[in-house]
Amino acid sequence: MIADVAEADFETRVLERSREVPVVVDFWAEWCGPCRTLGPAIESAVRAREGAVELAKVDVDSNQRLAASFGIQGIPAVKAFRDGKVVAEFVGAQPLAQIEGFLDELVPSEAEQLVASGDEDSLRRALELDPHQSAAAVALAKLLLARGDAEEALEVLAPHRAGFVADGLAARAELELGEANRATDSGNDAAHAGSDAASSLHSAFGAWDDGRPEDALEKLQLAVAETGDEHARDLIRRAMVGIFTELGPGHPLAAEHRRRLASALN
């Protein structure tokens, strides 16, 4: 949990270890007065987290090249590592409250840990603990939509629709609810008017749930072309933007279909 680390074992005990648990590195020296103040405080705070974060102590006098490689100019200097990279840092002795806050930012909250579990019960519990936990809302909505619970998915997403992914899922839920409502009115000629688009949507969302984004986007493009309902077209657009966001701006599918969607809507 707390260990002296030198240049020889820094990669293993800090960089590689930080891929499993956050590692905080305290660059210090025996002659440094503020270091003697900070050291015990940060050690106590790390121990209180019972293994959720680890502390590596690096003596800059004995590890000058290591200190230089991280640009250490004043001590104590504290750097936090996650996934082999520096994600937070501060210089100088800090009050205990600030040290606690620094560590709290590194250690996943209970809600974040529940989101990582990914099962429905954990996601619901995460939202109980933190109603602003958008990642939990998005993950839960995906589970609900995959099993056909569009109405509850829409309720779950309501407070989180500022994000493109959440808004895209909400648009999908609205589309699925609209198709369900039309299906209950099968005697009405209007109910059949959008049947081709509805079939494309159903296939598209099934493909996305099955991890086939190329098929999903092709079918959504088809649905855009097949529907004459402007509101439905906008909902499909929002659903596609959500998928583009999940794929990432550099993904070739996102770039291609974004261009095609813009052309279809103009």
Residues labelled catalytic = 32, 35
Whose structure tokens read 């954990």? 122
List C-alpha distances in Å: 6 to 62, 63, 176.
8, 6, 58
Residue whose token pair is 């999940």: 246
DSSP string, 201-247: HHHHHHHHHTT-HHHHHHHHHHHHHH---HHHHHHHHHHHHHHHHHH
CA distances from 62 to 69, 99, 260 (A): 14, 25, 60
d(CA 42, CA 94): 9
In sign, the C-alpha dihedral spanning 207, 213, 214, 217 is positive
3-state secondary structure 243-256: HHHHHCCCCHHHHH
